[in-house]
């Protein structure tokens, strides 16, 4: 039987194989396009809508918007008259949780906003906090836009902006301290400002000493003492001697409502003294970890010691409000500058927003979120891919 002409063989092979070559890129391009659209909606559009809605709601319900900023704004006005912004250092004076309890430096730095009416001042401060969050990510080298979208959906970040707290500024200070840790004066001023603004972050000084930046730590301590002295002098050192007593009274009133180690111990039935002892012991272990990790002298020892310092601060403090968790953006960003599942963990705080009702599962959830994030940040994890357009495939050629 004679063979078929060669041209017929070519036609048959081309007709049979060409569809198989062209089908796969088409399906991949369709899937990629859907994923890109989903990313833009859930990580781009929705965060902006959420923030817009909350801004409107916060403007309508002024009692909620700027709740934490109101005492700061009033204290800044007191500074102009040399009056003390502090309440009596007793628990009965702190029951409504609307008193000024920060170091006086916070009020001094907020003085420019005190010249405006409260709502305008709070709105300007909130806008600054939102910008500080974006700048924090930028300073830490986060270029994946999806991370910005996820962070805007974190309840701690939203609460920091709507309540107008200093937590977002503290996160920016941590970012500056890490980014410029080898620039002595920049790092010293950043750490001094952080500790003077929130005393519970003092373990950063141990990190500086452990990583052989003792001179930076000394400068930070010097700058912090000088700034605190000047700011307290403006009010005639009123409340200075009773300030530790004020902080202790504050802890007695509010520690049960937070997500701290102490709060977790209290929900399990420990007496207040024993719960605080557990927190102090856990914090001491974290301080030891700072030193040991710094001495490891590996390429990641500096980062590990820095994260351990943040962990020590969280373990030591008897109060961890949900907006404190916006500080977690720093350890996540320095270990995972692209989107990974760890960026989504703080979203769990939506299950127990704000102050909890004293239920064990709520305290355990908030406690587990910050503990898990800090523990996981010690090692780098796998990253989710950035969906890209599939390149067009060349047309199939017939076999000869």
Angle between helices 118-139 and 155-163 in degrees, nearest 10: 150
Closest CA to 125 of 106, 138, 139: 106
Q: What are phi and psi for residue 170, nearest 5 degrees?
A: -65, -40
| Contact (Cβ atoms closer than 8 angstroms) between residue 189 and residue 220 | yes
Write down the pTM of the prediction: 0.83
CA dist 4 and 229 (Å) reads 100
CA dist 15 and 9 (Å) reads 10
Domain presence at residue 48: no
Q: How many domains are contained in the chain?
A: 1
Residue 172 CA, chain-centre distance (Å), reads 9
Domain presence at residue 131: yes
Buried/exposed code over 112-138 (b: 16+ C-beta within 10 A; e: otherwise): ebbeeebeebbbebbebbbebbeebbe
Domain presence at residue 334: yes
CA dist 191 to 40, 222, 290, 378, Å?
37, 11, 16, 21
CA dist 173 to 33, 186, 193, 360, 367, Å?
38, 10, 7, 32, 23
Domain presence at residue 398: no
DSSP 105-173: HHHHHTGGGGGS-HHHHHHHHHHHHHHHHHHHHHHTT---HHHHHHHHH-HHHHHHHHHT-SHHHHHHH
CB count in 10 Å sphere of residue 89:
19
Query: What pLDDT does residue 235 have?
Result: 83
Phi-psi region of 391 (alpha: psi -120 to 50; beta: other; left: phi over 0): beta
CA dist 249 and 231 (Å) reads 23
Closest CA to 129 of 166, 75, 174, 155: 166
Could you report the per-residue pLDDT of 127-183, keeping only the tens digit for each? 999 999 999 999 999 999 899 989 988 999 988 988 899 999 999 999 999 999 999
Domain presence at residue 53: no
Domain presence at residue 320: yes
Longest dimension (CA), the chain: 114
Tens-digit pLDDT string for the chain (400 aa)? 445 444 444 444 444 444 444 445 555 556 666 666 766 666 666 776 776 676 566 555 545 788 889 999 998 888 777 778 888 888 887 877 778 888 888 888 898 999 999 989 998 999 999 999 999 999 999 999 899 989 988 999 988 988 899 999 999 999 999 999 999 999 999 999 999 888 899 999 999 999 999 999 999 999 999 998 988 888 888 888 888 898 888 888 888 889 999 999 999 989 989 999 999 999 999 999 999 999 987 889 999 999 999 999 999 999 999 999 999 999 999 999 999 999 999 999 999 877 766 788 999 999 999 999 999 999 876 555 654 444 445 555 544 4
Q: What are phi and psi for residue 288, nearest 5 degrees?
A: -60, -40
Domain presence at residue 262: yes
Domain that holds residue 349: 62-376
Query: What pLDDT does residue 210 have?
Result: 96
Query: What pLDDT does residue 14 have?
Result: 44
CA dist 88 and 93 (Å) reads 6
Could you report the per-residue pLDDT of 96-126, keeping only the tens digit for each? 777 888 888 888 889 899 999 998 999 899 9
Token pair for residue 189?
Answer: 């001023």
Domain presence at residue 156: yes
């Amino acid at each position: 039987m004679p063979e078929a002409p060669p041209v017929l063989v070519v036609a048959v092979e081309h007709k049979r194989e060409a569809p198989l070559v062209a089908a796969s890129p088409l399906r991949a391009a369709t899937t990629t396009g859907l994923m890109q659209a989903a990313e833009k909606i859930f990580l781009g559009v929705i965060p902006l809508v959420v923030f817009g809605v909350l801004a409107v709601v916060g403007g309508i319900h002024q009692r909620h918007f700027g709740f934490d900023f109101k005492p700061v704004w009033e204290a800044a006005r007191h500074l102009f008259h040399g009056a003390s912004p502090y309440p009596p250092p007793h628990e009965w004076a702190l029951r409504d949780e609307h008193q000024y309890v920060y170091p006086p430096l916070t009020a001094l730095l907020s003085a420019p906003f005190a010249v405006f009416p409260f709502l305008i001042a709070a709105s300007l401060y909130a806008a600054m906090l939102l910008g500080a969050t974006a700048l924090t990510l930028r300073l830490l080298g986060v270029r994946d836009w999806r991370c910005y979208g996820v962070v805007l959906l974190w309840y701690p970040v939203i609460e920091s902006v709507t309540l107008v707290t200093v937590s977002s500024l503290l996160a920016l200070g941590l970012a500056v301290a890490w980014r410029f840790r080898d620039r002595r004066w920049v790092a010293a001023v950043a750490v001094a400002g952080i500790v003077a603004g929130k005393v519970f972050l003092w373990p950063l000084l141990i990190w500086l000493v452990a990583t052989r930046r003792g001179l930076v730590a000394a400068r930070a301590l010097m700058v912090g003492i000088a700034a605190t002295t000047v700011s307290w002098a403006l009010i005639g050192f009123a409340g200075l001697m009773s300030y530790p007593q004020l902080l202790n009274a504050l802890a007695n009133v509010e520690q049960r409502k937070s997500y701290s180690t102490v709060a977790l111990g209290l929900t399990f039935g420990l007496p207040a003294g024993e719960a605080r002892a557990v927190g102090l012991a856990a914090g001491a272990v974290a301080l030891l970890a700072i030193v040991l990790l710094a001495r490891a002298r590996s390429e990641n020892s500096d980062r590990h010691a820095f994260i351990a310092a943040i962990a020590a601060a969280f373990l030591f403090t008897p109060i961890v409000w949900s907006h404190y968790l916006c500080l977690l953006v720093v350890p996540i960003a320095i270990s995972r500058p692209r989107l990974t599942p760890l960026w989504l963990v703080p979203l769990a705080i939506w299950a127990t927003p704000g102050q909890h009702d004293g239920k064990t599962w709520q305290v355990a959830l908030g406690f587990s979120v910050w503990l898990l994030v800090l523990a996981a940040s010690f090692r780098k994890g796998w990253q989710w891919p950035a969906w890209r357009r599939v390149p067009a495939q060349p047309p199939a050629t017939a076999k000869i």
